[in-house]
A = this chain, B = another copy of it.
Amino acid sequence: MKSLTLSSPLDMHLHLRAGSLCETASAVAGTQFAGAVVMPNLVPAIETLPAMDAYAQKITAAAGTAFRPLMTLFLNTQSASDIEEAKANPHFFAMKLYPAGVTTNSENGISNFDAIVPALEAMQALDVPLLIHGESNGFVLEREAEFLPVYRQLAKAFPRLKIVMEHISDARTLALLDEFENLYATVTLHHLLFTLDDLAGGKLNPHLFCKPIVKLPRDREAIRAAVFGGNAKIMFGSDSAPHPRSNKESAAALGGCFTGPVLLPALADLFDRHGALDKLQAFVSDNARRIYHLDVPQKNLTLVNEPSDVPAAFDLPSGEQVIPLFAGTRLPWRIV
């Protein structure tokens, strides 16, 4: 029987939301990961250190102390001294940039990039990473490609700033990784697994609807080749994002896949089927630890090639449900 022990797996892009969704999603993350980068696009967004500290405490209460939340602030009007103050906070990890209006709760994101230059200069000086949801407001399949000139411009203007292209989904994005030393990327489970065919090729499945949208077969193949080939600048970031079922099975479904409950078993299965199990440790931990010089709790997780059942739903105290990826099905790997 095949097995695999992962040392301190990390999820470098995670949405934990608020309220009882946060309790459920944090507990799920704590069972699998040694830490995770927590996204700040709540309502209101996490923009100040007191709000960030309170959020970190709420997460730790649900996920346990063996899980380190790597907290982010929503980049908006922060000054250079705000960045300096953040850098001194032990929960703080990075700034997250949302262009205005491109995803859930990003209405107050950035539309004037000149206004954030002082913050970016401070971040570069203090080695604070810049995480970016890189999409334009254009046609849904072209948004990431249309954003590439912005990545390019930022990478040139701030050559010592670590810039992370989050949840990359388009084959055209990969070339930039090689071109600029200071550009990095995260890749989700669902962009490794799915194309637009899975979302909308048979029946329409709102639980696979996310931003950026899952794309063409050639995009998935290019991203798989980079990840399974062991590209050292690509880190795992699930972008797992729980929404109540009523917000997904709806006439106006919100973006976000709740992949959290199945991440490590599904990754083990996928990497195994592609003969890349030996690349999983670097993808889910070593690359991030090296890129960021991260100090995270030591936590070993062993996976075995034995079936595990995915719950059909997670019940929230509100009476609502959250539907995970692969709900009600059986995966060929499980966590011991």
Residues on A facing B (Cβ under 8 Å): 139-141, 195-197, 199-201, 203-207, 209, 213, 216-217, 248-255, 323
Q: Which residues of B contact A199 (CB under 8 A)?
A: 200
A251 contacts B207, CB within 8 Å?
yes
Q: Which residues of B contact A203 (CB under 8 A)?
A: 252-255
Of A139, A195, A196, A203, which is in contact with the most chain B CB atoms at under 10 Å from its CB?
A203
A252 contacts B139, CB within 8 Å?
no
Q: State in angstroms the CA–CA spacing of A254 and B206 once bound together.
A: 12
With both chains docked as a complex, state the minimum distance between the C-beta of A243 and any C-beta of chain B, in angstroms.
11
With A200-B209, A203-B255, A205-B251 known, 7 other A-B pairs at CB within 8 A are A204-B252, A204-B254, A204-B255, A205-B253, A206-B206, A249-B251, A251-B323
With both chains docked as a complex, state the minimum distance between the C-beta of A195 and any C-beta of chain B, in angstroms.
7
Can you list 5 A-B contacts with CB-CB less than 8 angstroms, sorted by A residue number?
Answer: A139-B201, A141-B196, A203-B252, A206-B206, A248-B251
A204 contacts B323, CB within 8 Å?
no
A206 contacts B139, CB within 8 Å?
no
Q: State in angstroms the CA–CA spacing of A196 and B197 once bound together.
A: 13
Of A251, A254, A255, which is in contact with the most chain B CB atoms at under 10 Å from its CB?
A251
Per CB-CB distance, the 6 closest pairs between chain A and chain B, nearest first, are A204-B253, A203-B252, A140-B201, A204-B209, A140-B197, A204-B206
Q: Known: A141-B196, A216-B141. Is A252-B201 also a contact (CB below 8 A)?
A: no
Q: State in angstroms the CA–CA spacing of A200 and B216 once bound together.
A: 15
Q: Which residues of B contact A204 (CB under 8 A)?
A: 204, 206, 209, 252-255
Within 8 Å by CB of A205, from B140, B201, B252, B323, lies B252
Q: Which residues of B contact A323 (CB under 8 A)?
A: 251
Q: Which residues of B contact A195 (CB under 8 A)?
A: 139
With both chains docked as a complex, state the minimum distance between the C-beta of A222 and any C-beta of chain B, in angstroms.
15
Closest B residue to A246 using CB positions: B249
A206 contacts B251, CB within 8 Å?
yes
Closest B residue to A141 using CB positions: B196
With both chains docked as a complex, state the minimum distance between the C-beta of A220 and any C-beta of chain B, in angstroms.
11
Q: Which residues of B contact A248 (CB under 8 A)?
A: 251
Within 8 Å by CB of A206, from B140, B141, B253, lies B253
